[in-house]
Amino acid sequence: MKRFLIALVLAASISGIAVARDFPRVEIYGGYSAQRLGITDENLDSITSGMEEDFELICPGCESSVSSSRFLKKGFEGAFAVNVTSYFGLVFDVRYGFDDIVTGSVTNNDDTDVNATIKYTDLSVMGGPRFAIRTGSVTPFVHALVGMDRGKVSYELTGTSTESGEEENDGIGVAVGGGFDVNLGDTVALRLGQVDYYLTRHNEEFLKNIAFSGGIVFRFGWVY
């Protein structure tokens, strides 16, 4: 009887270890992303005021309308992760987002509309470690990523004439955050929430951004 109990305990222990080691070797993620730019009120007001001054030069005394937003609502994120153990892996991450941050319009004396748009585009390529807790139905995780960030500001004026221009700069990007995946099976999961504190540096200035993402995860090469 004693030997039977010892054997039962050993079998349960070995089984528990095996279950704990179950994890996919590779995970591929793709989904929607959005970002809140950390641009300061002072800089955003300066851009808005500059557009209003341009409208005043185009049509002195005419009423203009200018609005601004810190959110990049159009974006995509993709990630490729290689898991070393059930809880530790390495992630390669690519993010791309863009949107209008300042828009405006003015109507000339001849009833011709002049429209102006300032767009911000952000592209990052980063990598780093990720730690996950595989509980069964839900997999929470945290990560720390660092790499290259390319920011571009473009300007377009349409109406009586068309003018455009852009300025691009490569800098550093750092993302620290996490999220959770809802497991639908061995091969598919839904990433319902991922939030990152996303720090970028361009021209010796830092932007303290917040990034949001959600999408689908495909898993391959299970290790048992």
Identify the pLDDT of residue 36.
Answer: 96
Q: Given this model, what pLDDT does residue 6 score?
A: 43
CATH value of 26-221 in 3.40.50.2000, 3.40.50.720, 2.40.160.20, 3.40.50.11030: 2.40.160.20
The one-letter code for the residue type at 146 is V
Q: Where are the domains of the chain?
A: 26-221
> From the centroid of its chain, how far is CA 156?
25
* Mean pLDDT of the chain, nearest integer: 88
Helices and strands (H and E) in the chain: how many = 2, 10
pTM of the model: 0.82
Residue matched to tokens 């970028």: 200
Of 114 and 196, the structure prediction assigns the larger pLDDT to 196
pLDDT at 148: 97
Question: Taking 70 as the threshold, does the pLDDT of residue 2 lie above it?
Answer: no
Over range 39-68, report the average pLDDT.
Answer: 88
The pair of three-digit structure tokens given for residue 197, joined into one six-digit string:
């504190």
> Tell me, what's the pLDDT at 4?
37
- Give the residue-averaged pLDDT of 55-71: 88
